[in-house]
Amino acid sequence: MGSTALLTAEWVLSALLLAIVAVGAFLWLRRRYIAQGRPLLLGALRTDVEPRWRLGLIRLRGERFEWFSVGGPRLGPEHTWSRQELDLGAPQPITEEIPGLAEAVCVTTGRPGAELALTPSTYTAIRAWHESAPPGLGVNVV
């Protein structure tokens, strides 16, 4: 009877360990898939629908600004802005603490009720991307 309980406990622990490894591997592979060989930025998003800050990954892709939730099974972006519709406001200090974002600042996005929390260096990188001309634009200007 004791060996049956021990065997059952071993199976349960093995299954639990396998599940933990599988979830970790999925999150790692998901992050690699989202990055597609490009750097990702860390930022939090808050909307009127979800008023709490949600940590996420930001990908700047050509003409699009894409925000992905850090966790979850979704491979596509949850929120997307074109470069033209993204309207970054002036950075404002945040009094709330957001895990993973030290000394974060808050900026508006150009969409009513959507705000981003970013580190100052991430804000600078996104601002530079936003203000830069896309590749090929204005090449043949006389």
pLDDT at position 103, please? 87
Per residue in 103-122, pLDDT (tens digit) is 899 998 888 889 999 999 99
Please spell the DSSP secondary structure of the chain, one letter per residue.
-HHHHHHHHHHHHHHHHHHHHHHHHHHHHHHHHHHTTS--EEEEEEESSS-S-EEEEEEEETTEEEEEESSSS--S-SEEEETTT------EE--S-BTTBTT-EEEE-SSTTEEEEE-HHHHHHHHHHHHSPPTTTTTT--
Those residues of the chain that have pLDDT short of 70 are 1-2, 133-142
- pLDDT of amino acid 58: 93
State pTM to two decimals: 0.77
Domain boundaries, the chain: 1-37, 38-142
Q: Which fold has domain 38-142?
A: PH-domain like (2.30.29)
Question: What local confidence, expressed as pLDDT, does residue 26 receive?
Answer: 87
Structure tokens at 46: 């808050």
Q: What is the pLDDT of residue 115?
A: 93
